[in-house]
Amino acid sequence: MKKIGWIGTGVMGKSMCIHILKNGYPLSVYNRTKEKAGELCKEGAAWLATPGDVAAASDVTFTMVGEPADVEQVILGKGGVLARSRPGSVIVDMTTSEPSLARRIYEEAKGKSVSSLDAPVSGGDIGAREGTLAIMAGGDEEAFKRVLPVFELMGKNIAYMGGPGMGQHTKMSNQIVIAAAMVGVVESLLYARRAGLDLDAVIDIIGKGAASSWCLNQLGRRIVKGDFAPGFYIRHFVKDMGIALLEARRMKLSLPGLALANQFYIAAMAEGLETEGTQALYKVLDRLNRP
């Protein structure tokens, strides 16, 4: 795994690439908006003109784009990553995307003697910056073992979860927890404020007890500061909950807690908050409670 390619240098991708560069791997990059790869190029990454060009130059090509439609276009599109990948190389999609798309990519890649992993992450913008992400991978274990040294540059908690699509299913399990947790964090802080408490003091004490969570300790603090910048975009979270609800319906599984959280976040989209961080759910429930 000498030459690495990376497509999608947004909030997450950019920070993950920095770790790869700092560890001396040759890295070529592509992003829809070229300027967002500028800092990486200054650090030594090579800019290539298309996703296909990146794949053709790489032993392993990572994608960290936004939505499943972007993954499909970049990997399976005409002249895209798979079309230009060399036999024996590996494609690793780290976008939070659909398990069914991961399986399709795996099958099409196999037909070209290319390996494919779905390897979404958890740990947020901070985890990406600090190289402490949780990485949950699906695909062939042999391919996972080959890519593991690169995963170890970006993450601290890395697991092989099973065949193609199982990384994405694991990420959906993660998002189902987060959905309910975010409603809980927001309601807890609204309650504490109405009761006249100091919100930071509340997080100081309950954030170390049984109510402790990343959502409370990281995003709860941002709410108290009035910092609603992303982090993790609301529009991406709505995408994730949509995938989880669709998969659950296919499994004939009723998840009313997830469905309720999804409705609150759709209300946030209706209020024009889609490019704010997921903690901006606070604004929706705050408005609901105005006298």
Residue numbers of the site for ligand NAP (CB under 6 A)?
Answer: 7-13, 31-33, 36, 64-66, 70, 73-74, 95-96, 121-122, 124-125, 231-233, 236, 240
Shortest approach of ligand NAP to residue 259 CB, angstroms? 19
Residue identified by tokens 């509340």 is 202
Of 14, 171, 225, 283, catalytic: 171
Minimum CB distance to ligand NAP smaller for 66 or for 207: 66
Contact status, residue 116 vs residue 91, Cβ threshold 8 Å: yes
Minimum CB distance to ligand NAP smaller for 12 or for 215: 12
Question: Which residue's Cβ has the minimum distance to ligand NAP?
Answer: 10
Q: Considering only CA atoms, which of 54, 90, 47, 46 is closest in space to residue 74? A: 54
Neighbours of 194 (CB within 10 A): 9
Shortest approach of ligand NAP to residue 65 CB, angstroms? 4
Shortest approach of ligand NAP to residue 153 CB, angstroms? 17
Shortest approach of ligand NAP to residue 122 CB, angstroms? 6
Query: Rounded CA gap, 127 and 267, in Å?
Result: 28
Minimum CB distance to ligand NAP smaller for 32 or for 104: 32
Minimum CB distance to ligand NAP smaller for 11 or for 172: 11
Active site residue 171: yes
From residue 217, how far is each of 201, 231, 237, 243 by CA, in Å? 12, 14, 19, 26
Minimum CB distance to ligand NAP smaller for 25 or for 233: 233
Active site residues: 171
